[in-house]
């Protein structure tokens, strides 16, 4: 009888250990697949940088094509967005107004707080916020008084919550001081001071015949001066374009690179998003998903 009990106990123990081992093997397999996906994404980054460098070497005086993509990567100009470290309070307020102002704040207050966060002093601008405000929070922290290091840093600025950051993130950058006409959406162009109709016409021109930005039929403006006539702007629309032209360019030195690595059995791939400086070929930002 004791032998039978012992055999039964050992059998049950073996079953439990087998189930545990199977679970551990499954976990290890999933981890391995995720690592494999990440390595695939790293390879996409390397191929994207090589493609960007190859284009720059072969076409030193031409802007990047609207779409530069290949196996597992896609490259676009990072400066088709509002530059957080250079934009005026008026431009920032216009952008916040378009994406939606959080309850309890105004676009002017948020824009002023953004400018105060990045300027080098502790002098509070009208409607703004400096260290004297942030030190009263719990926990307290100082105002940066320097350029934004990332868009996510906006969460430290008075009036900016996670919902507003999510809305702003596609339209802002911490790189550069101008806005690339060839990749800027209408929202960004309108924030720069163009009328809604002028911004829509310019964005429609660059989107190409299929009206979808970021596809192979996209078009480019050869220069800022050529844009109004190419896009068919009316005299009043051209006037708003001219007033905003100091913010505009058709070239870029920083590029956003998105690389994807498939994960077996998982719908969503591993994703790496980074920003590359084409003058030094350094990676300036890096985000993994």
Q: What CATH number is attached to the domain comprising 152?
A: 1.10.40.60
pLDDT at 281: 87
pLDDT greater than 70 at residue 7: no
Picking from 117, 141, 170, the residue at the C-terminal end of a domain is: 170
Reported confidence tier of residue 13, pLDDT bands at 50, 70, 90: low
Query: pLDDT tens for residues 49-104?
Result: 999 889 888 887 777 776 788 888 988 888 889 999 999 999 999 999 999 999 99
Does some domain include residue 227? no
Picking from 123, 144, 170, the residue at the C-terminal end of a domain is: 170
- For residues 182 and 245, give the distance between their C-alpha atoms in angstroms, rounded to a whole number: 14
Query: What sign results for the dihedral spanned by CA atoms 145, 147, 148, 149?
Result: negative
pLDDT at 252: 84
What does pTM read for this prediction? 0.78
Query: pLDDT tens for residues 152-209?
Result: 999 999 999 999 999 999 999 998 899 999 989 999 999 999 999 999 999 999 999 9
Query: What sign results for the dihedral spanned by CA atoms 99, 111, 178, 277?
Result: negative
User: What is the extent of the structural domain holding 72?
Assistant: 2-78+252-288
- For residues 275 and 175, give the distance between their C-alpha atoms in angstroms, rounded to a whole number: 9
Q: What is the mean pLDDT of the chain?
A: 87
Does some domain include residue 43? yes
Instruction: Return the exposure string of 38-53: e unless at least 16 CB atoms fall within 10 Å of the residue's CB, then b.
Output: bebbbbbbebbbebbe
Q: Is the distance from CB of 36 to CB of 261 less than 8 angstroms? A: yes
Assess whether 150 and 93 both reside in one domain.
yes
pLDDT at 228: 97
Q: Percent of the chain, pLDDT > 90?
A: 55
Helices 89-99 and 107-118: angle between axes, nearest 10 degrees: 130
In angstroms, how far is the first alpha carbon of the chain from the final one? 58
Does some domain include residue 183? no
Does some domain include residue 220? no
Placement of tokens 């493609």 in the chain: 51
Number of folded domains that form the chain: 2
pLDDT greater than 70 at residue 15: no
pLDDT at 60: 78
- For residues 102 and 77, give the distance between their C-alpha atoms in angstroms, rounded to a whole number: 29
pLDDT greater than 80 at residue 8: no
Assess whether 18 and 70 both reside in one domain.
yes
Does some domain include residue 95? yes
């Amino acid at each position: 009888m004791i032998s039978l009990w012992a055999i039964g106990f050992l059998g049950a123990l073996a079953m439990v250990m087998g189930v545990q081992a199977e679970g551990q093997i499954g976990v290890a397999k999933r981890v391995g697949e995720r690592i494999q996906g990440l390595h695939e994404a790293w390879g996409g980054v390397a191929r994207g940088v090589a493609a960007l460098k190859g284009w720059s070497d072969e076409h030193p005086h031409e802007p990047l094509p609207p779409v530069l993509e290949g196996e597992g990567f896609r490259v676009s100009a990072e400066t088709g967005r509002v530059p957080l470290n250079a934009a005026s309070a008026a431009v920032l307020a216009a952008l916040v107004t378009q994406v939606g102002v959080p309850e309890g704040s105004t676009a002017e207050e948020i824009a002023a707080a953004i400018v105060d966060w990045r300027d080098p002093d502790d002098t509070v601008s009208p409607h703004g916020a400096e260290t004297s405000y942030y030190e009263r929070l719990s926990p307290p922290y100082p105002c940066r008084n320097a350029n934004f290091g990332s868009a996510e840093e906006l969460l430290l600025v008075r009036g900016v919550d996670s919902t507003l950051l999510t809305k702003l993130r596609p339209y802002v950058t911490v790189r550069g001081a101008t806005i690339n006409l060839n990749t800027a959406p209408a929202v960004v162009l309108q924030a720069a001071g163009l009328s809604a109709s002028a911004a829509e016409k310019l964005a429609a021109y660059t989107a190409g015949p299929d009206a979808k930005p970021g596809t192979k039929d996209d078009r480019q403006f050869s220069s800022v001066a050529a844009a109004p006539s190419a896009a068919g702007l009316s005299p009043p629309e051209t006037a708003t374009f001219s007033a905003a032209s100091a913010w505009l360019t058709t070239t870029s030195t920083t590029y956003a690179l998105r690389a994807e690595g498939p994960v077996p059995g998982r719908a969503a791939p591993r994703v790496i998003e980074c920003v590359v400086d084409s003058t030094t070929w350094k990676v300036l930002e890096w985000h993994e998903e």
